[in-house]
Amino acid sequence: MSRESFSANTGCQHVELARNTIGHVQICPDCGVVHVSLQSMTVRLTPDAFEALAELTRQAYVRLHADARVFAQTPAHAGVAH
């Protein structure tokens, strides 16, 4: 029941896998935890769960771009000023 072993304060060395404007993804090889940080929140996942999330996101992305009807219903670039 040691929460400390699951935190970042025990000498874990997180390795950054990717980063862009919305957030970043790091993995802790020691704990086997993938940290997905999106702006103000961080989700910690097992590598298997992260892989499932990545696949889920990829499928949604493909669908979004493959299906014009879905894309048309999206409030695309809602923040763009004219």
Instruction: Between 9 and 73, name the residue whose CB sits nearer to Zn ion.
Output: 9
Answer for which of 16, 17, 19, 30 binds Zn ion (CB under 5 A) is 30
Site residues for Zn ion, 4-23, by CB under 5 A, read: 12
Q: According to the binding rule CB under 5 A, does residue 45 interact with Zn ion?
A: no
Bridging pattern class, strands 23-28 and 41-45 = unpaired
C-alpha distances in Å from residue 16, one per residue of 27, 69, 76, 81:
6, 36, 30, 34
Given the rule CB under 5 A, which residues bind Zn ion? 12, 28, 30-31
